[in-house]
Amino acid sequence: MDRRKFLKGSALLTGLFTLNPADLLANGLKEVSNPKKKAKNIIFMISDGMSSGTLAMANLYSQNILSKNGNWMNLYHENKVSRALMDTASASSVVTDSAAASSSFGGGFRVKNGVLNIGANGEKYVPIWQKFKKAGKKAGCVTTVTITHATPAGFCVNSDSRNAENEIAEMYAEIGFDVMMGGGDEFFNPSKREDKKDVYGLYRQKGYQIFTNKGDLKKAEKGKKILGVFNSGALPYSIDRTHIPELQNTPSLAEMAQTAIDQMKDHPEGFVLQVEGGKVDWAAHANDIAALIHDQLAFDEAVKTVMDFAEKDQNTLVIITTDHGNANPGTIYGPDATKNFNSISNYKYTNEYILNAIHPDFNLQKMKDWIYETSKISLADEEAKYLLSFYSGLEKQEAGLYNYKKLPFKAYSEIQKKHNSVGWISMDHSGDYVETAVYGPGKELLPAFIKNTDLHYLMLKAAHI
């Protein structure tokens, strides 16, 4: 890529775009010639907060319990992808948050944690989905958290704060993205917004179809843009959706990805799509092994959906990665490690659901019965008393990201560890190098070790933009 031509073209998109040479094309990607075959479409898949242990345990569960290898792992076994380790740091820390991480992919520059494509001196880096929209492609995002959350937003908008989700909801409509699906009704619904603004109405005025449940996916009209908002807050965890009937009207990540692909695949200029398994990150924050494994497996089903299309299409670049690690979970050595790990197949619900159902009026036996009913774990009396103490105020309530109800996630995961041989280093992000796999036109551009910003330029180069 001619760097001067690239920067000149980028400057046309924003008067505030500035160069940070130290962050640009860290591995010399600009010196690599354009791939012989141009990528017409790009699908960028992110299992948010996926440490390497998460990938390993989900695949182990798939092998041991489901009797099959995972789809992501099969891409390695069948040598279908280029593979790299990726450095995930942000401009402000060796440990990134999702906003800075997505901005690295989306804007091509490392920014401080908490902001979206805004440089240290106020520079506005053009988000990559806007670049592709300007080039004539359709663009969209699907996620299992709020569609206005940091990871989709990092590919789409500039904002001083990742928390400005009300404003981000409006930005999407103004820019005109073609398919946006996830949770976050509170950012669109006038009855839930403090300013009472009807953001759904704004989308309808612009010709969008508004989807609110899984059944709506089958009603998609070709040629019309889609806004799908299927829940207040994030979508349910996969394991809870499986076992709780009232949650089954929300779509899976694979179903949203399939609808998005079908909606955009016939566009003459092609499309770009981000697919995020956002609740993998939330499960890691909660040290919730059932939530973690089953949402990673749901992401893996989306990998199959995407790869089925890409292998047939042969014009689609697929990038599969994560934005950062979280909590570094892993299996622990011991004589019963395999048996203990396999016992996770007895878990019917997330820890969030289990712990949220406990009340201060539970007695010791009721607590023990409830834990056995939901996970086949036989609590000792002392363990049951310890858990109950969090509900009677004897133990200090736990804090933590996405733990709005102060549930004792850490306490319960420590009890589970004795039974399932899974440990965690923390309840927060980690700075580990992470897996990246690339398939399709442009996969030869991937070096063995990259910075997160490199994927921005790899996408542009693969698409000859």
Q: Which residues are annotated as a binding site for Mg(2+)?
A: 48, 149, 151, 276
H or E segment to which residue 104 belongs: helix 98-107
| Helix, coil or strand: residue 400 | coil
Locate the DSSP E strands across 270-420.
Answer: 271-277, 316-321, 325-326, 330-331
**Terminal C-alpha separation, the chain:** 9
Marked catalytic residue, from 62, 82, 98, 252: 98
d(CA 250, CA 264) in angstroms, rounded, equals 22
From the number of C-beta atoms within 10 Å of its C-beta (0-12, 13-18, 19+), residue 401 rates as middle
The torsion angles phi and psi of 118, rounded to 5 degrees, stand at -120, 125
H or E segment to which residue 352 belongs: helix 351-356
d(CA 129, CA 141) in angstroms, rounded, equals 10
* Annotation says 413 is catalytic: no
The torsion angles phi and psi of 170, rounded to 5 degrees, stand at -75, -35
| Helix, coil or strand: residue 47 | strand
H or E segment to which residue 351 belongs: helix 351-356
- Closest by CA position to 155, among listed 104, 197, 111: 104
Residues in contact with 415: Cβ distance below 8 Å, sequence separation at least 6, in sequence order: 377, 379, 383, 386, 387
Contact 345, 70 (CB under 8 A): no
- Beta bridge partners, 273, equal 43, 140
Annotated binding site: 48, 149, 151, 276, 281, 285, 323-324, 429
Annotated binding site for Zn(2+): 48, 281, 285, 323-324, 429
The torsion angles phi and psi of 354, rounded to 5 degrees, stand at -60, -50
- Could you count the other beta carbons within 10 Å of the beta carbon of residue 194? 7
From the number of C-beta atoms within 10 Å of its C-beta (0-12, 13-18, 19+), residue 77 rates as exposed
Sort strands 316-321 and 434-439 into parallel, antiparallel or unpaired.
Answer: antiparallel
d(CA 420, CA 406) in angstroms, rounded, equals 24
Amino acid at site 458: L
Contact 3, 457 (CB under 8 A): no
**What's 120's DSSP letter?**
T
Residue numbers annotated as active site: 98
